[in-house]
DNA sequence: GTGAAAGCGCTAACAC
DNA sequence: GTGTTAGCGCTTTCAC
């Protein structure tokens, strides 16, 4: 059984409303856009005509004439599948969507096409959106940095490449969060601290590794072994295995993401290594992976949903020409559970 | 430290490209849109001019003239927060985004505003999108059903209200899936089967309850106690508690979602009721809640990501005037784990 | 195969 | 406060 699209009769135009209300198109436009310079009578007549006709303004025409689309893009890097499975990204999107729902802006999800990288840039420069949100990504984010000259852009997480002085960035202090986490391990008597670091081509990965090292060196200790993962549970399990295979003992472990820590905890348990008795574990991210870990994970919370709302807020301000801070650092805090 | 948007010089227009390439605007338009009716020379000249100028077509103008936006909306019902935390919705979005990334269409996320319900409809009718995807929602989805007269619409999950014969729907057979699950319990010797049903104002909730009942009646058994939840873990835990408080014994439990089953399993464990020894549990959804359940949950898998891709595919076909099936039923299958 | 001309439906000066 | 007049940058007949 098949069907074809219904032939819809032409939608009523602003001109039709004007005729019906007995006013000019300008007046209709003013009413639709909430201008105060309209008499109550005129406004009433227009509103009635709009209701009777079921008029809805044509967005493309409005956008063409006003040079504003009232829409912003959220650029999704790389594979979509990994994106939505990651509670970090889900929370960011939630914060963005939620903030925009209370604004006149609409959210466009732009999946960066691997097959045609130029497509995203072309879209962004075609005026389809008034600005774009770029999520922290791998070091190939140069093209986005360059886009900042063409339209308002806000980065969530600092780009790894050199960026314009005018770039607007919202981030947490990854170095400081990692340092605090590691210091917590040290304060609990741990002396030989390993780390499962994040990808070293992303700012969050690099900075968290630096924070771990800084805490250790500042305490006069020697760094434990380092293995790198890509923030996912699979990578965490693999990294822990490699850590153990190196045969270097450690009594503390700092993981750059809760997803990796959660999987590491599973591997430790499987090998009969008790947490926190034999090894204390701490990580960054207070998501479901931290909560559901066995034992529940002590971790640094980053306000992800709030960060999503913040980047949306910043972008809207940028678009509307209001002053914005160039760099916003969201606060993190320690959540004590049972893994240290 | 604050900054203001950079004053960007005007973007090059199609006309500028035409001048530079020494052709008319029509020819440039043809090249940009891949028309075959252009000589190789003309095409080369135009492409060079485009590259030199860094031209990107203005989307609003194109959309106004062609009456196509090459963009589709995914309408998100109710609270955004619940939406992104739900693996079902995340998978749907993933499927949609992934399919569209390989098409010339862009995805707009439309959060149905609770404060201004008309806003969504106005947007959809303003030509900002060529069609819309409506996710199964509560019974107040009447307004979306009506929209189908104005633009191409595809429903994921059948609407509970009467809908146009032309409505395009992609769904699973909820009744059959629930029946199969319940029959599996019966085949394993369970005779007194309770259920934690889904919301009774949603098709998935209603149909799954019907399937459960049908299997029981067909087997000549008496139905066990029923409690209703809203698909969330919290609702599952509460429903199980109520089920137990009723004092009616049961040796089998069918839950309408894995999220509810997962939480119910936790509650059963807490009370020392062994699964599957004392009670067998089965549910619908093969998501992380099913996998991570203790014990791992035997469940009916629905191909959620594929369903997302399917609704996107159907909508694009509808928009492009190609024939589409009015109703597509995605296959479900039993995943045997350890809870029965 | 190519160009000229006529809009697409709206906003934004500007005059009244 | 209201109407008139130009476009916004593109697609699309329709001649040639």
Across the interface, which of A60, A305, A326 has its CB nearest the CB of B60?
Answer: A60
Is residue A169 within 8 A of residue A144, CB to CB? The reply is no
Task: Find chain B residues with C-beta within 8 A of A5's C-beta.
Answer: 152, 318-319, 321
Q: Which CATH architecture has domain A174-301?
A: 3-Layer(aba) Sandwich (3.40)
Looking at chain A, the domain(s) classified CATH 1.10.260.40 span 14-57
How many Å apart are A32 CA and C14 C1'?
Answer: 21
Secondary structure string (H, E, C) spanning A71-128: EEEEEECCCHHHHHHCHHHHHHHHHHHHHHHCCCCEEEEEECCCCCHHHHHHHHHCCC
The pLDDT of residue A299 is 98
Backbone phi and psi for residue A72, each to the nearest 5 degrees, phi listed first: -130, 155
Across the interface, which of A80, A94, A110 has its CB nearest the CB of B80?
Answer: A94
* Strand C–CB A62 distance below 7 A: yes
Task: Find chain B residues with C-beta within 8 A of A143's C-beta.
Answer: none
Average pLDDT of chain A is 92
The Cα–Cα gap between A198 and A204 comes to: 7
**Which among B2, B10, B66, B84 is the top mutation candidate for probing chain A, defined by the most A β-carbons within 10 Å of its own β-carbon?**
B84
* Strand C–CB B30 distance below 7 A: yes
Average pLDDT of chain B is 92
The pLDDT of residue A1 is 46
Which residue is closest to C5 in terms of CA–C1' distance?
B26
Task: Measure Cα distances from A67 to A177, B147, B298 in Å.
Answer: 42, 28, 55
The pLDDT of residue A139 is 59
- In the stretch 260-299 of chain A, residues with CB closer than 8 A to chain B read 292
Is residue B104 within 8 A of residue B34, CB to CB? The reply is no
Model confidence pLDDT, tens digit, residues A129-142: 999 999 987 656 67
Q: Is the pLDDT score of A259 beyond 50?
A: yes
Q: Please indicate if any CB of chain A lies within 8 Å of the CB of B69.
A: yes
DSSP state of A194: E
Helices (H), chain A: 14-21, 25-32, 40-53, 59-66, 80-85, 87-101, 117-125, 142-147, 174-187, 203-218, 233-245, 258-270, 288-291, 304-319
Q: Is the pLDDT score of A95 beyond 70?
A: yes
Fold of A14-57: 434 Repressor (Amino-terminal Domain) (1.10.260)
Mean pLDDT of A192-200: 97
The pLDDT of residue B161 is 78
Distance of CA B303 to the CA centre of its chain: 11
The Cα–Cα gap between A141 and A160 comes to: 8
The pLDDT of residue B111 is 87
* Strand C–CB A13 distance below 7 A: yes
The Cα–Cα gap between A315 and A293 comes to: 36
Extract the residue ranges of chain B whose pLDDT is less than 50: 1-8
Mean pLDDT of A115-119: 79
Mean pLDDT of A269-281: 97
- In the stretch 16-45 of chain A, residues with CB closer than 8 A to chain B read none
* Strand D–CB B217 distance below 7 A: no
Class in CATH terms, B71-173+304-331: alpha beta
As a dihedral over the C-alpha atoms of residue B94, residue B96, residue B97, residue B98, rounded to 10 degrees, the angle is 80
The strand D neighbours among B residues 182-211, by Cβ under 7 Å, are none
Looking at chain B, the domain(s) classified CATH 3.40.50.2300 span 71-173+304-331, 174-301
Does the beta-carbon distance from A93 to B84 stay under 8 Å? yes
Secondary structure string (H, E, C) spanning chain B: CEECCCCCCCCCCHHHHHHHHCCCHHHHHHHHCCCCCCCHHHHHHHHHHHHHHCCCCCHHHHHHHHCCCCEEEEEECCCHHHHHHCHHHHHHHHHHHHHHHCCCCEEEEEECCCCCHHHHHHHHHCCCCCEEEEECCCCCCHHHHHHCCCCCEEEECCCCCCCCCCCEEEEECHHHHHHHHHHHHHHCCCCCEEEEECCCCCHHHHHHHHHHHHHHHHCCCCCCCEEECCCCHHHHHHHHHHHHHCCCCCCEEEECCHHHHHHHHHHHHHCCCCCCCCCEEEEECCCHHHHCCCCCCEEEECCHHHHHHHHHHHHHHHHCCCCEECEEEECCEEECCCCC
Q: Is the pLDDT score of A80 beyond 90?
A: no
Does the beta-carbon distance from B108 to A151 stay under 8 Å? no
The pLDDT of residue A63 is 97
The model's pTM? 0.93
């Amino acid at each position: 059984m098949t069907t074809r699209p219904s032939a819809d009769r032409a939608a009523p135009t602003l001109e039709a409303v004007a005729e019906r209300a007995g006013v000019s198109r300008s007046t209709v436009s003013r009413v639709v856009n909430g201008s105060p310079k309209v008499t109550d009578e005129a406004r009433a007549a227009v509103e009635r005509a709009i209701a009777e006709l079921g008029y809805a303004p044509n967005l493309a025409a409005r956008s063409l004439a006003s040079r504003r689309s009232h829409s912003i893009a959220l650029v999704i890097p790389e594979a979509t599948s990994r994106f939505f499975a990651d509670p970090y990204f889900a929370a960011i999107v939630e914060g963005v969507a939620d903030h925009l729902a209370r604004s006149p802006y609409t959210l466009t999800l732009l999946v960066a096409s691997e097959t045609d990288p130029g497509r995203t840039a072309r879209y962004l420069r075609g005026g389809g959106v008034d600005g774009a949100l770029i999520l922290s990504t791998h070091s190939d984010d140069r093209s986005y940095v360059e886009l900042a000259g063409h339209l308002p852009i806000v980065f969530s997480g600092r780009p790894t490449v050199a960026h314009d002085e005018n770039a607007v960035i919202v981030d947490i202090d990854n170095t400081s969060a990692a340092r605090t986490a590691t210091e917590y391990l040290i304060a609990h008597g741990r002396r030989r601290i390993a780390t499962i670091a994040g990808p070293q081509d992303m700012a969050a990965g690099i900075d968290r590794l630096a924070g771990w090292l800084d805490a250790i060196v500042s305490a006069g200790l020697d760094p434990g072994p380092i293995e790198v993962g890509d923030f996912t549970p699979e990578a965490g399990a693999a990294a822990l295995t490699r850590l153990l295979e190196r045969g270097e003992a450690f009594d503390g472990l700092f993981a750059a993401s809760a997803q990796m820590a959660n999987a590491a905890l599973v591997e430790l348990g499987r090998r009969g290594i008790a947490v926190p008795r034999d090894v204390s574990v701490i990580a960054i991210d207070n998501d479901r992976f931290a909560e559901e870990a066995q034992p529940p994970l002590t971790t640094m919370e980053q306000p992800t949903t709030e960060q999503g709302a913040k980047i949306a807020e910043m972008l809207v301000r940028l678009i509307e020409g209001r002053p914005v801070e160039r760099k916003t650092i969201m606060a993190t805090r320690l959540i004590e559970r049972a893994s240290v």
